[in-house]
Structure 1
Amino acid sequence: MEEDISVDAAIAGSYPEESEALPTRQHVTGFGFYVYLLSDGILFAALFAAFAVLRGATDGGPDGHALFSARNAFIETACLLTSSFTCGIAMLACDRRNRFMTLVGFLITAVLGVMFLTLEIREFSDLVARGAGPDRSAFLSSFFTLVSTHGIHVTCGLLWLAVLLVQFLGRGFTPAMMRRFLCFSLFWHVLDVVWIGIFTFVYLIGGYL
């Protein structure tokens, strides 16, 4: 009888430890989103590799030295890196439950993202008008594929942010909103890192060095 009681007590005493060891909803969400970001990293790694292989395959057409604008690339980079900073400010405001600064930070992030996309679309339009579209050469095909894939991610991020802000205005700082803002900020910062790679290997090395 005493042995049964001691066994029951041991089992009952193990429950708190097991419950503390269980992952929280935020941990599960964060882990799943990190897996997604890693898969996205593999996608961009493949596109970078394709560009590296095809950067000299111009088929007698113009190369990066003749096509790329340093001024445009620098402005795009400034917009996206500044948006990463404002996104970080917004997340700090979220942690402090500062509603006003959260909205301001994310709205500025959205405006800078739209400016980046506008410059990128203008660059694509200019290249196509000059006869340097994606069908001109393998080099340009790889360039348009890599840069436009990043642009599509930025577009999806802006749409995602717009939905989050509408939800935030109605719900406030709920645990679910905090998880969603965290995932968005991770996604946006990764896009900035990818763009630094594009700016370095495509525009600087591919266009000027």
Structure 2
Amino acid sequence: MRGATLGVIVACLIVGRAAAAESAAEAIRAFGLTGTWSVDCKRDPYQACENNRCGARLTYIASSSGAPTIRNVIGTFTPGQVRTFISTIYSATRIADDKIKIVSVQDPPPSTTLIWWRQPGEVWEIVLLKVGDKYRTFSAHRDDWKKIEVDEGFEVRPPPPPPPAQMYVDLPTKWLRGKNQTPLFERCSD
């Protein structure tokens, strides 16, 4: 009898803990991410890029129905034309008061021909670090760590491909951590 009672108590604790866990949308809202963000809200993505600098907006959408999404709009060299990438968020978990871990998959169509950038269908883990009323990307990598964009707040890129290649055909196996911290994102009013 004592074993059955203990089993019921343990089962109730497990079910209660699962029921109390935040959904991805709730975690995103609680962290304060919903809305539109940019590293430079003054630079409009619908204006032509200047000096290889383009406007960009990241919008976190956590509606009451359906999976949350990230909508990334990036400017081009043609006025009024933008590139839009949407990722579906499958989980979002606060891992500290100032950090949230997001697991997402970029939706088709393909975003780029560069093999080392995110591609549709790949699962990515991203940790965002809150800095006051802004945030920065603390880490971003494919779930198998074979592609890395950010590590401990610093940008990561593959080295230039070996000559005579101009771009990677196969996935690079070496990654270099840069000296620059990732930029801070600020909330935009648009």
TM superposition score normalised by structure 1 = 0.24
Higher strand share: 2
TM superposition score normalised by structure 2 = 0.26
Tell which structure's C-alpha radius of gyration is larger.
1
| Larger RCO (alpha carbons 8 Å, 6+ apart) | 1
